[in-house]
Amino acid sequence: SRLEGRCSAGSDRAKLCEIMWCGRGARRVAEPEALVSASLDVEVARQTTEEDEQVSAEMWKWFDPRAVGAGREPARATFFAVETPELAKAGAGPKGSTRFLALNGLWKFTWSPRVGSAPRGFERPGFDDRKWGEMPVPGNWELNGHGFPIYTNVQYCFYAKPPTIKYRGKDPRYNPVGSYRRMFKAPACWFEQHLEVFLHIGAVCCGCKVWLNGVQLGFSTDSKLPTEFKLTPHLSRGKNILAVEVLCWNASSYLEDQDAWWLGGITRDVYLFARPPLHIRDIKVCAGADCLLKLDAELCISGAALLAGEALHCELFPRGSESDPEKRVCSFDVPVVGRSQEVATASGEFLCKDVSLWNAEQPSLYTLVVASPETSAGVAEAIALAVGFRTVEIAHSRVMLNGRELTIRGVNRVEHDAVKGHVVSREAMIADIKMMKAHNFNAVRCAHYPNDPVWYMLCDEYGLYVVDEANIESHGIGFLPEHTLANDEAWGEAHMARAQRMVQRDRNHPCILFWSLGNEAGNGINMYRAYMWLKRADPTRIVQYEGARLEPLWSSDKVETIDMNTDVYCPMYPSPAKLKAYAELHEGSSCERPLIMCEYMHAQGNSVGGLQQYWDEISSYGILQGGFIWDWMDQGLASQANGKDIWAYGGDFGPSDTPSDYNFCINGLVQPDRTPSPALQEVKKVMQPLAFKAVDLSEGRIAVCNRYTFQSLENLDFTWSVLADGIEVQGGALPSRLDSSPGVWQEVTIALPRMSCDFEYHLLVMAHVRTDSGLEQAGQEVAWEQWQLEVGHNAAETRADAPLDQPPPSPLAQELSSQVVVTAGPLVATVELSSGLLSGLKYHGLELMSTPLVPNFWRPPTDNDYGVLLPKMCAGWRDAGRQAAVIHGPQVVKHGPVSTQLEVRLSICNGSAELAVSYEISAEGVLVSAVYCPAASKAASRAAPPRIGFRGCLVSGFEDVEWFGRGPHEAYMDRFQSARVGRWQGSILEQTYKYVRPQENGNKFDTRWMALKRRPEDSQCAGLLISAASGSRLLGVQCHRYALEDFDGPEHRDQQHVRHAGELIAREETDFCVDAVQMGVGGIDSWGSLPLPEHRIAPDECFKWSFWLHPIHPGGTTGSTDLAAQARSLRQQRMVDSQ
């Protein structure tokens, strides 16, 4: 049609494209039908059985890459036509119209494991389906009792020999078929009004054939776009039988190799709709920032004679005011012109006045109501379209929206539901958008296919910029020109159809700023043609494609050579250094492509380390305009293992031969039930739309910059507070109202209180939403910043400690045959002579330690650790602490009136390092001091350990924790920006973050002290205070009611003992860690990139740290209940004893 704007193979652009690409080796198919048939015949001959021979001839089309569909209606924009303009204005929609019949619900269904075993003749009205079961529509078979879910990433679940299908498991002919039947009766008014009736199937995986009353209507491929069939010629007034056959995998599956579950079935809504003989078949609306509204429509007239002056009547209203004529923005008619006996067109434009422009921050929408002319029988229709006025363009090497430079704070989103698989409800979509907006996202990439139309409607309404991506990924074929399907003309129609039909469905949505040609599908003649068609069909949007590069593979560090078929440079998983390199090359250019990362920060497991470094670069260079984190949600499926609820991943379903890429589908910022990961908090903080800086903290002067693109700060309330040792001592609203425009800094002065040298002070400034707006609720936190305050000359006098009623008891040291036992008042500490480890700590007779305090150089591998083979590279460090050999000691080196000091030197990891440990024991507790030094001779040949510290285990009875440091969520060396310094508390059980696959978790970074408390307090000991000693570096600490070994895994993660967090079993004891350092978690990717250099432990780096193990007295004057005071007292005790 004219609306499609097809670019034929013979056009000048296509010829130019052919010449350019064929010079690089495009594969041309002289006789495509013969080649396809020949390859099919070979495979069929190899697989044929007696039952297959009867169906192979009629199924051959499934294995012809050029057979993309037949009998289906041309693609069109998403809309539903109701009977009258009044209904359209009232927002009646399908459910308020008599021209809609929902077919969702239970259908008669049978499942067959192979093509040849599917029932024959089931489409006939008289077929006996009484023994069949039922299947929900929409629904995935595998989650409703038929077959099993399969997860793979790059590899197909069948052998990559296009276009044939041969399953990778033991049964090569396994290729399930679902057969559906549904009886329905059409409303009588449809016949009385002579309406045309159509079937809409929202999505089918992976291809379908459709029959009505035994007559085949056609077939369709592309599992993420709708297919529609005209039913009128075959529709009966009484009972009708609709039959659908769904084949799980066919030739088109080679273009659907997304990193996701392979699930079959009808996955979106199915319904019938009726239209008058003269109806709007398709409509295109373009509304720019110049306020010019353009309309281009195609009408079906079915031979009806058009009267002179026939027109589409159009009215524009602000969203929500459609029923108020006083608020109508404009009204105009668009003439209808007949083109043939079947087709008419209508084109027009109108300059609107006083309209607000659409953007994600202020998503101003309007409703365009379009009414068609009446038929001779007086039947008409009307549609309501959401319209957003905006213009997106690239100008001077910047992506611009409405004339302003954009910064994309984006995330990739896969359609996924933990229970329903690929069936996602409207409520779930709203929940996603609400969380995204609350965590400072402004953009989403539909990964890697067109989403349910409802998603785009919601993004229009609530404000998210969208990359709409064609359902094209052939990752498993490879990217070389001689291999990729993108460069094979036999697959040209399949590539083109998927791009075209996406655009034709979605082009009226203002939220869509970018079209994407697909994902990881190579490059070649087919992608060139698709790009050129897109640029011609829709010049109002930007087209992107990550695969548009001359190099077959991308690099994390090197800038690729960008090919012609992308408007932006959209690399995958670049390092911050690569961003900087590109920016330094092109920042000053006005004709280079802006850079927007299509994927970065692979959020698999405990990840997203180094995000701040990315945004430091983005904030420094205008040509770097943000990116999309991979990805939003862990694609786990609700299941059970060992009687416990789990989130299942690859390898958890099917027989042992099921293809699987294990837990690579678990890489989201939220878990399958939308439980936020700690990394999501980091994303929110780093991407916050405000910038803060300290101007002069001694005078309380700070500045705030508005980093929104369009809105001012008028709807934000700002508060401040001063914290002393993590507790707020003073605060309030900022004295000056901040209402600056985008890009503007505004300074404010805060009257700070006097401060005492006894405390550590921090200034916290926070911004919250003032009033409810869209999905934002009043009081919702938007941004914050915190600074440590220096105690200056105006500090209050230091509080003098009360004199002791009596001197502390002198320690008594006893060297036994295997131990040194030191008694100091109520405290008894034991050090093993054979290992040099602190093995016991009693207080008032209660033993606190279940196991010795052991040097620790290992962490349970994260998914990123597995990606760089860290469990193999660092294998020697796994048990290095337990296997440490005593070089010297332990021996008493000092015995004074207050404390006794023991020292021991340990050889670590077969002489790779030495650890010198000192235990200074007094009635206050044990001061542990340690110095770690790697051996210079082995530093270059051995990988550094992932952590350096100690681990221990406390006896049962410890239930709660309080700490002064960063929190409340976990934080690491490269992911701590979102964890502010304060006093935090909770149960010990809550301190474990249960990543879907258990791994390193729960770290508390920059910790001053942590108190592990017993509940209820007993008469012997209230808990254990672990505090950094005076002069020591801040600590990394953890506490868990799970054994650390339960988080751990062997060299290969698929052999892990506890594979799912749901299988973890809490125990009575408490494991804890006290670290000098732990390497960052990384996040550039999860398959080869280490954390950034500044977030690693250098092989030749020495570390020195010290901490107190201080039993907490259950009450009274001897042991203060103020934990901060006790921590300060410990430092003073150390100083007193040193004197």
**Rounded Cα gap, residues 894 and 238, in angstroms:** 100
The kind and range of the H/E element at 716 are: strand 716-724
Judge whether 599 counts as a catalytic residue: yes
- The half-sphere exposure of 157 on its side-chain side, counting CA atoms within 13 A, is 29
* Upstream peptide bond of 631 is cis (omega within 30 degrees of 0): yes
Q: Are strands 716-724 and 701-706 parallel, antiparallel or unpaired?
A: unpaired
Q: Which of 166, 183, 177 is closest to 204 using CA atoms?
A: 177
Residues 553 and 661: their CA atoms lie apart, in Å, by 21
Q: Pairing state of beta strands 292-300 and 1023-1028?
A: unpaired
To the nearest 5 percent, what fractions of the chain are helix, strand and coil? 20, 35, 45
Q: How far apart are CA 972 and CA 112, in angstroms?
A: 50
Orientation angle between helical segments 525-537 and 12-22, nearest 10 degrees: 150
Helix (H, G, I), strand (E, B) or coil at 156: coil
Length of the chain: 1139
Q: How many CA atoms lie within 13 A of 494 on its CB side?
A: 32
Nearest to 4 by CA among 627, 533, 747, 774: 533
24, two tokens? 């690089």
**Spatial separation of the C-alpha atoms in residues 555 and 574, rounded to whole Å:** 7
Nearest to 833 by CA among 894, 886, 906, 893: 886
What is the rounded distance in angstroms from the CA atom of residue 300 to the CA atom of residue 280? 6
Q: How many alpha carbons fall within 13 Å on the CB side of residue 64?
A: 21
**Cα separation, 135 vs 266, whole angstroms:** 10
Which amino acid would we find at residue 991? Q
CB 1007 within 8 A of CB 1034: yes
Say which of 228, 245, 473, 520 is annotated catalytic: 520
CB proximity list for 655: less than 8 A, separation 6 or greater: 148, 169, 170
Q: Tokens representing 58?
A: 């009629």
Cis preceding-peptide flag for 844 (omega within 30 of 0): no
Give the CA distances from residue 921 to residues 366, 851, 927, in Å, rounded to whole numbers and listed in that order: 74, 18, 6
CA dihedral 155, 159, 163, 166 (to 10 degrees): -130
Q: Which residue has the tokens 């009977």?
A: 83
Question: Is cis: bond before 890, omega within 30 of 0?
Answer: yes
Between the two ends of the chain, the Cα-to-Cα distance in Å is 92
* Catalytic residue check, 520: yes
Beta bridge partners of 1033: none
Q: Which amino acid is at 1093?
A: P
Give the closest residue to 478 by CA, choosing from 573, 552, 560.
552
> Which DSSP state fits 73?
P
Q: Give the separation between CA 311 and CA 531, rounded to whole angstroms.
A: 34
Residue 857's nearest CA partner among 904, 905, 908 is: 908
Helix count (H) and strand count (E) of the chain?
A: 17, 61
Q: Which of 256, 599, 682, 924 is catalytic?
A: 599
- Cα separation, 152 vs 650, whole angstroms: 7
Six-digit token string for 484: 């990729």
Cα dist from 727 to 182, 279, 965, whole Å:
65, 68, 11
| Residues labelled as active-site residues | 520, 599
